[in-house]
Amino acid sequence: MLAKQAWRIIHRPESLLARILHAKYFPTRTFFIAQPGMRPSCMWKSLLAAKEVIIRGSRKEDHSQIGYILEDIKELMRTQPGSKFACIRGQANVTAHRLAQFVLSCDVRVEWFEKPPDII
């Protein structure tokens, strides 16, 4: 029964249970890479054990380390309509990385249209 609930969390992230557990136990990650955390409930520990059963039995999902990263990226993309990815050269990666670090360090939404931030 717990494996069924874990399956629903994975495949129906919009469900109430999935949203509550996501907010409490893995707000910045996917269920696949969620950890027990501090003082986990008995139910959460059981769901994590069921997750392992699903991972071992599933052949559809990519459960490699890069697969988890891709799942996180897909999840983030769903929350940002209109965003897209593009291939860029190495020099632009440095700039993109600096911008990402800058935005993550801000407490509020950051936008610029004319002049980019001084960190570039």
Total number of residues shown for the chain: 120
Q: Which two tokens stand for residue 47?
A: 């769901």
pLDDT tens per residue, range 17-41: 888 888 888 888 777 777 887 788 8
pLDDT of residue 55: 66
Single-letter amino acid code for the residue at 9? I
The rounded average pLDDT for each run of 10 residues, N- to C-terminus, in the chain (120 residues) is 76 85 83 80 83 65 65 77 72 78 81 75
What residues does each domain of the chain span?
2-79, 86-120
Q: What is the pTM of this model?
A: 0.43
Query: Rounded distance, CA 49 to CA 67, Å?
Result: 20
